Amino acid sequence: MQASTQVLSHVDGSSTVLSNGTKVICSVSGPIEPKARQELPTQLSLEIIVKPAEGVQSTREKLVEDQVRAVLTPVLARYLHPRQLVQICFQVLEAGERVEYTVKEVSVCVNAAILALIDAGVPMLSMGCGTSLGILRENGQIIVNPSFEQLEQCESVHVCCLELGTDVEKNVEVRNVLLLDSVGSFSETQLFQVLEAGEKECIRLYTEMRQTAKEKVARDFIWKG
């Protein structure tokens, strides 16, 4: 995964993430004043917009928006900003998959959103990480973060997003499963294998994202040396 933050200047937070042929740019504005219909009396409301790499928004992008919302809602400290709005925009630059699939875009959007939310300073209770997985048709092997070609050869494809944090002793802890979405035919044992491989990959991505966030903090406080 290649990631960078602070790429846009007119929004509060932004990031780009490139992962095995899928590239997404994300912007976050907030907490800002919501429209009357978006306002929630006790908590922060989220507006999520996904723009595809080709063509205009369709029901496919609505699916991606809904899945990203399901991941972000529990990790945000929503009750700290009642009657406010956070606007999260994604522009997919390179899809890295055929329009039949959304797994790669969903997982990359989740990672990009978390980094942009950190950049914007929106309060979060944990970090979220997402990865895509595929099970090969011929030998049932699990491929983590498949490429465009590998995706074509898969019997089933999966997205796995986990809620992660660090405990008092600085150990990484997995706190919850935020999203597990699967398309295709697969068995129960295979699903457990997918979860296991997904967990390993998410923990690896988590350490990578911490590094990106660390670089951001160093740039923010450049006068502290």
Partner 1 sequence: MSQLLLPGDLIKGNETSDEEISAGPGVYCDPVTQELVATHAGIEVVTETKKGHAVYVNYNSRRYIPAVGDLVVGVITGSFGDSYRVSLSNFSNPVSLSFMAFPNASKKNRPTLKVGDLCYARVCSAYKELEAEIECMDSTKGQDAGFGLLDGGMIVETTLAYARELLFNESYPLLNILGKLVEFEVAIGVNGIVWIKTDEVKTTLACYRAILACQDIPPNQFDKTIKQIFNDTLKSSD
- Whichever of 25 and 120 has its CB closer to partner 1, that residue is 120
CA distances from 154 to 49, 114, 157, 190 (A): 29, 28, 7, 13
DSSP-based three-state secondary structure for 213: helix
- Whichever of 80 and 180 has its CB closer to partner 1, that residue is 80
Regarding 118 and contact with partner 1 (CB under 8 A), the answer is yes
Instruction: Tell me which residues in 150-209 interact with partner 1 (CB under 8 A).
Output: 164-168, 175
Could you tell me the smallest distance in angstroms from the CB atom of residue 130 to partner 1? 15
Regarding 29 and contact with partner 1 (CB under 8 A), the answer is yes
Could you tell me the smallest distance in angstroms from the CB atom of residue 194 to partner 1? 24
Q: Of residues 84, 102, 107, 131, which one binds partner 1 by CB under 8 A?
A: 84
In the chain, the DSSP E strands lie at 2-5, 13-19, 22-32, 45-51, 85-94, 127-136, 142-144, 154-166, 172-184
And the tokens for 121? 């300073």
- Whichever of 138 and 167 has its CB closer to partner 1, that residue is 167
- Whichever of 54 and 167 has its CB closer to partner 1, that residue is 167
Regarding 216 and contact with partner 1 (CB under 8 A), the answer is yes
Between CA 95 and CA 2 the distance in angstroms is 15
And the tokens for 67? 């899945």
Could you tell me the smallest distance in angstroms from the CB atom of residue 12 to partner 1? 5
Between CA 70 and CA 177 the distance in angstroms is 11
* Close Cβ partners of 139 (under 8 Å, ≥ 6 residues apart): none
**Interface residue list for partner 1 (CB under 8 A):** 12-13, 29-33, 75, 77, 80-84, 118, 120-121, 123-127, 164-168, 175, 210, 213-214, 216-217, 219-225
